[in-house]
């Protein structure tokens, strides 16, 4: 089920991206020869107007074949409708349109999330208010009693009971739980935890030394509830969250790329296809809103990654268009094709490296 969800999300977001290229090319009068769902070999195709719409065998995305986009192809007809015949700013607009569509998609997805109800913590300061607060585990300290008991980030504390019989129910706040734990130092506690629709019990004993002057179990808690907004406010708050996630994603990617050049790259913090399948599976267990959040985040990641000025990505092609505009000379087709081939090969190697680390994590 997780693999199917991953494929649906990935194909949907890539098609949104490709539709941006498609729509902008059509807007500028550039001929679009094919809009494909999946990758060849072709299973079915139907031509409407000048564009053939196809469904292909490999279900891992989609593509748009724009007339005259490949420099190694010399148009023999409709020369004025070729991609290369248009002004540089129009070419750039076609290339950027896919990224813009991914950002718009994330905005719409998050806005729908706010209409349904997105998670919000005690520090939420946007429109509306947080309701239905529940004490939720946000992070776990390594080698702490919480880690040894198998408590996981994202689980809600429904009940906590000490050996003496005193307890707290689900209506308690995170401050109450922290105080309760401190008051029962060295005493085994029974915690009832909820994750999605499933509950379980674990036992852990608070210890001193992790936090100064008090006993703790070694997790970070917050009162996490639901923020539900009417549609007109949902679009405003969805736009703000989209911007925050976009900036955070860009900064995180920049830090990761910088660490690679410094020889400090840590692939354990990066998820490839195998890792994302696992994350999608976990998100689906938390309900539709968690899945919407993850889908929006993947969409923004696609947008940011595609803007990197690297061959075989939109950013690389955009760099070539800018270079041609500055030098007023076209990049030779052989150099353009060679750079794209090298860039594609490096991207495949990177994906294989990240996938290897994904698989290795499964056996740790």
Cβ atoms 135, 157 nearer than 8 A:
yes
C-alpha atoms less than 13 angstroms from C-alpha of 194 in its C-beta half-sphere: 13
**Quick check: is 18 catalytic?**
yes
Catalytic residue among 18, 155, 158, 237: 18
Active site residues: 18
């Amino acid at each position: 089920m997780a693999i199917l969800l991953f494929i649906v999300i990935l194909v949907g977001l890539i098609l949104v991206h490709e539709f941006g290229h498609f729509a902008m090319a059509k807007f500028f009068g550039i001929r679009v020869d094919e809009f494909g769902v999946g990758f060849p070999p072709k299973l079915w195709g139907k031509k409407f107007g000048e564009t053939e719409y196809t469904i292909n065998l490999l279900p891992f995305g989609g593509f748009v074949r724009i007339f005259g986009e490949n420099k190694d192809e010399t148009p023999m007809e409709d020369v004025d409708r070729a991609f290369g015949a248009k002004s540089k700013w129009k070419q750039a607009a076609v290339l950027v349109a896919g990224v813009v569509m991914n950002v718009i998609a994330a905005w719409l997805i998050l806005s729908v999330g706010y209409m349904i109800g997105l998670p919000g913590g005690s520090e939420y300061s946007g429109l509306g208010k947080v309701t239905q607060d529940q004490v939720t585990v946000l992070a776990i300290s390594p080698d702490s009693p919480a880690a040894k008991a198998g408590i996981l980030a994202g689980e809600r504390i429904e009940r906590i009971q000490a050996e003496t019989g005193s307890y707290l129910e689900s209506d308690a706040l995170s401050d109450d739980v922290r105080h309760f734990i401190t008051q029962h130092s060295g005493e085994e506690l029974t915690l009832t935890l909820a994750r999605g629709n499933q509950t379980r019990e674990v036992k852990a004993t608070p210890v001193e030394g992790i936090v100064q002057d008090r006993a703790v179990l070694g997790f970070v808690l917050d009162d996490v509830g639901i923020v539900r907004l009417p549609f007109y406010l949902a679009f405003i708050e969805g736009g703000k969250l989209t911007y925050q996630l976009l900036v955070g994603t860009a900064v995180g990617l920049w830090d990761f790329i910088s660490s690679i050049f410094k020889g400090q790259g840590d692939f354990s913090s990066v998820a490839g296809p195998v890792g994302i399948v696992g994350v999608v599976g976990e998100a689906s267990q938390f309900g539709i809103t968690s899945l919407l959040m993850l889908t929006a985040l993947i969409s923004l990641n696609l947008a940011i990654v595609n803007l990197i000025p690297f061959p075989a990505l939109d950013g690389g092609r955009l760099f070539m268009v800018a270079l041609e505009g500055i030098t007023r000379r076209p990049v030779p087709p052989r150099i353009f094709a060679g750079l794209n081939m090298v860039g594609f090969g490096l991207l495949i190697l990177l994906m294989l490296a990240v996938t290897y680390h994904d698989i290795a994590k499964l056996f740790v």
